[in-house]
Amino acid sequence: MKIPQVSVFVSNRPGRLQAVCRSLADAGVNLLSLTLADSGEFGLIRLIVSDSEKAVEVLSKAGLTATITDVVACPVEAKAGGLADLLSTAVGNQQIDYMYAFPASSKAGKDIMILRFQDTDAAIKALEASNFKAISKEELLG
Amino acid sequence: MRSTAWNDEENKVLPEMALDFMPEEQLRELQLQRLRATVKLAYEKVPLFRQRMDEKGVKPEDIKTLKDIAKVPFTMKKDLRDTYPYGLFAVDLSEVVRLHASSGTTGKPIVVGYTKEDMEVWASVIKRGLLACGFRSTDIVQNFFGYGLFTGGLGIHGGFEALGATIVPISGGNTERQVMLMKDFGVTALAGTPSYFLRIMDVAEKMGISIRDLGVKRAMFGAEPWSDGMRDYIEEKTGIKCYDIYGLSEIVGPGVGCECECRDGMHIFEDHFYPEIVDPETLEPLPDGEEGELVLSTLSKRAMPILRYRTRDITAIEKTRCKCGRTIRRIRRIGRRTDDMIILRGVNVFPSQIETALLRAEKILPNYLIVLDTKNNMDTLEVKIEVTREMMSDSMGAMEKLNKKFKQSIEQILGVSVIVTLCEPDSLPKSEGKAKRVLDNRKRM
């Protein structure tokens, strides 16, 4: 199950994150997750939002470059070895471009990992063959 | 159907084009005749020209052959500035029907004036250029050169009007409206700066409109140097055939020269403008075929004759006749100007080289700005490149790789180390006329 993630290119200077959040807020787009990657001069803001298409449109209008890519959300046990267990399956052999943990567990006893695979379809197949399950955006919303 | 002469559309040589095909001997005779008259007018009516020629001991009668033009002193942009506003006018102001001026970003603007005949000549040379590139009276043309004091907008307007085309005088700016009218008005031809057209392409894409599917067939671009790579890029993306028109306000504005359907150099309308190439260092005239600075003299202008104006444009006059058969000579397209040249740590750098590098690296042409600075007593060159959606990736590694690819490509072409910074769209100055490509923050000694 793929989840659309919005990535925004921003210059690495004060006020840019604010500009992104304000534009989305004014358009009534709700943020489900946010993570930042940075490299000296620029950064990438990665967001899972209530309405991805709308978010890209709003951000383009605000003069920002944004794209949508697919990620996979997978709950793991909120205990020592939870993530290690997931990566011990065939999923661990997939090329992972980056991953981040969903802040606080929305489901009791579970942390949610967001993973960006190089080959999303192959990764989902690997997940299906394991005991782990990718969840939808609706499930993520709780 | 618009009325045109009954057989004009079928003929290769239209009556208005005949001057482009004048026998060479006759053309040289006409040039000499007009040059002598122009030198005489300038000497008699303009104190600056008289003083300069007197200093060199040159009299108008000394111009006996075209080669004698080398005796005449050069004119520089500074001369136009120093005589602001009307110091170089050779006629009474009552005869002047139009004034144009530069923006004056580097001090006092320069002012140019035209008599009624000057205006007619101006429109006629542009019309000849348009005809040579396949524009016709049936065209609906969107002119997004800036209207106003700038010679581009109203100059090109006059040329299209003389051609009899339907003009949409939209000027620069309001890019969404540009796209809308292009579609709604059934525009078939464009005129403007190529850098602004790139912006229009961008906005059209965001609006979900494919320019390729509109009825635009031809574009006349000018007022700034643009590379062959940029032409290929625009043509591949839009299917619009792009042509180059050359000119500068000091001489007349756009229409000093123009490409033809062969697109193998720009024909100078030699019956009105006399081209020379000189060595920019020694100022010695160079033979046809050799590259140097283009020097232009007006041959028919009355309000403001200009003798041997140093254009700062680097080009060569082609030795061979164009395949189209025109006898008026061609200059190579302008890629470089001596005053655009950046000297960085002893190496000559031209903004157009950055364009070539970007196209070579990724086959894209994003908006860019060259920023020069001094850090630890060293001059640095930074190229800021706007990230578009087609360049963007959600992977940091891919973005860093892109940055590195641009850097390598630029360094390979320039031969100096540069800093490449990817930045947000809209963070660089946007072109609505001539593109601003260089910001020089260097500390001068």
CA distances from B414 to A28, B170, B436 (A): 48, 38, 20
| Residues of chain B positioned with their CB less than 8 A from the CB of A97 | 394-395, 397
Between CA B28 and CA A124 the distance in angstroms is 78
Where do the domains of chain A lie? 3-69, 71-137
A71-137 classified as CATH 3.60.20.30:
no
Question: How far B224 CA lies from chain A's nearest CA (Å)?
Answer: 26
Cβ within 8 Å, pair B396-A64: no
Cβ within 8 Å, pair B395-A67: no
**Each residue's pLDDT tens digit in chain B (445 positions)?**
444 555 555 566 678 889 999 999 999 999 999 999 999 999 999 999 999 999 999 999 999 999 999 999 999 999 999 999 999 999 999 999 999 998 765 667 899 999 999 999 999 999 999 999 999 999 999 999 999 999 999 999 999 999 999 999 999 999 999 999 999 999 999 999 998 999 999 899 889 999 999 999 999 999 888 889 899 999 999 999 999 999 999 999 999 999 999 999 999 999 999 999 999 889 999 999 999 999 999 999 999 999 999 999 999 999 999 999 999 999 999 878 887 788 887 788 888 889 889 998 988 888 899 999 988 878 899 999 999 888 999 999 999 999 999 999 999 988 889 999 999 987 888 777 777 888 888 876 4
Q: What was the ipTM of the complex prediction?
A: 0.86
Show which residues on chain A lie within 8 Å of chain B, measured between beta carbons.
Answer: 5, 7, 9-11, 16, 37, 39, 41-42, 44, 46, 60, 63-67, 69, 97-98, 116
Residues 6+ apart with CB under 8 A from B121: B252, B272, B300, B301
Per-residue DSSP letter, B125: H
Between CA A131 and CA A89 the distance in angstroms is 9
Shortest CA distance to B331 belongs to which of B340, B319, B323?
B319
Class at the top of the CATH hierarchy for domain A3-69: alpha beta
Per-residue DSSP letter, B276: E
- Decide: residue B233, CB within 10 A, 0-12 exposed, 13-18 middle, 19+ buried: buried
Cβ within 8 Å, pair B427-A98: no
Cβ within 8 Å, pair A10-B422: no
Number of H-type helices and E-type strands within chain B:
10, 21
Domain B342-440, CATH homologous superfamily name and number: ANL, C-terminal domain (3.30.300.30)
Cβ within 8 Å, pair A65-B397: no
Cβ within 8 Å, pair A7-B394: yes
Residue range B8-24+111-337, CATH number:
3.40.50.12780
| Residues of chain A positioned with their CB less than 8 A from the CB of B397 | 97
In contact, B324 and B213? CB cutoff 8 Å:
no
- Decide: residue A92, CB within 10 A, 0-12 exposed, 13-18 middle, 19+ buried: middle
Cβ within 8 Å, pair A9-B426: no
Strands B218-222 and A110-117, sheet pairing: unpaired
pTM of the model: 0.81
Where do the domains of chain B lie? 8-24+111-337, 342-440
The residue of chain B with its CA nearest to that of A61 is B206
Between CA A135 and CA A3 the distance in angstroms is 9
- Decide: residue A90, CB within 10 A, 0-12 exposed, 13-18 middle, 19+ buried: middle
Both tokens assigned to B267 = 């024909």
